[in-house]
Chain A
């Protein structure tokens, strides 16, 4: 069975500082990895997916199959980045997502 681990429940950084939200996964096959963001009282939104290899709102994430990681990074955090971030995995031909426990990011002024 697949599993997603986000080791940090809470993460605080100052505005302008780099930020990295960690995500590790376990899955024997070839996974599809996603980062979703949930701003306060708003819907869960897709931020990044590994197959797109794009940068959204300054965030990037690289799938490292050797380390089974998909860490989310941003070089200069902004206050509006404060939100709950979920790493998620879709396994093989499955339709559903398996979510990590989430990291609450707070960007301090």
Chain B
């Protein structure tokens, strides 16, 4: 199994809603990532978790709140988002061994904020 699974595939939410994006991998990877990708733009790093601890937060607004309940799961809690937050949110994972590390991406969750 070399898949990173993300749910939901599509999400429409209002600016006052609270929702969550979920990500799961069963490859035994110990690093997990959230990236944001706007249309026809490269992915931009948001957060990195290493061994279930937040190791990098790329100055992401607090309306995005990541959570890593265990080594296989990564959530992104969303609250009071703005329309400009509409994007494809990509989850990724990797093994955490420098010389053999490949980052695997999920299909993403398309988020629309109305």
Contacts and interface: CB of A to CB of B under 8 A. Distances in A.
A45 B33 contact: no
Interface size class of B (residues with CB under 8 A): 20 to 34
A101 interface: yes
Contacts of A86: 42-43
Interface in B58-92: 90
Interface of B: 31, 33, 40-45, 48, 50, 55-56, 90, 94, 96, 98-99, 101-108
B105 A95 contact: no
B41 A101 contact: yes
A44 B105 contact: yes
B104 A42 contact: no
B9 to A, nearest CB: 10
Contacts of B102: 46, 49
Interface residues of A, number: 20
25 contacts: A36-B105, A43-B106, A43-B107, A44-B105, A45-B105, A46-B103, A49-B102, A51-B99, A84-B40, A86-B43, A90-B101, A95-B33, A95-B48, A95-B55, A95-B94, A95-B101, A97-B43, A97-B45, A97-B103, A99-B43, A99-B44, A100-B42, A101-B42, A102-B42, A104-B40
